[in-house]
Amino acid sequence: MTTDVHQLDDGAWISVNDSREINVSDLWLLARHEFCDCEMADFLAEGVVEVGVDYPDIDARFAGRCIQCGTEGVTDWLTVGRVIDPEDGQFYGVVPESVHVPRKRTRLARPE
């Protein structure tokens, strides 16, 4: 089956196969990023802006703020988890507070 990914409720969370998997309000540590000038951005996710699938990764861009320097904006693409076997649709989420490296591109899911 295909993996169904979207953001809902004004970008409050990401649904993967009709299961709420990623919420806003987590802090994400970003390395090798262009979000702000901090070497390691301490990024508060306030809203999901876009979601995408780049098998097996589920990716998202978040609106939010680095709570170290205060820069506001939208991140590049972050991998929020993986669906390794599309047949069973099982989602394996990443740990937000571990270190993540944003990417410039992914395959867009349908617009929300």
User: Which residues contact other proteins (rule: CB under 8 A)?
Assistant: 4, 6, 8-13, 15, 17-20, 23-25, 27, 42, 44, 46-47, 49, 65, 67, 70, 72, 110-112
Closest distance of CB 78 from other proteins, Å = 17
Closest distance of CB 67 from other proteins, Å = 5
Beta carbon nearer to other proteins, 17 or 103: 17
* Secondary structure of 34-58 as H, E, C letters: CCCCCCCEEEEEEEEEEEEEECCEE
Beta carbon nearer to other proteins, 28 or 77: 28
Q: CA–CA separation, 46 vs 51, rounded Å? A: 15
102: nearest Cα among 74, 83, 82? 74
Beta carbon nearer to other proteins, 25 or 84: 25
In this structure, the number of other CB atoms found within 10 A of the CB of residue 53 comes to 19
Closest distance of CB 62 from other proteins, Å = 12
Closest distance of CB 55 from other proteins, Å = 19
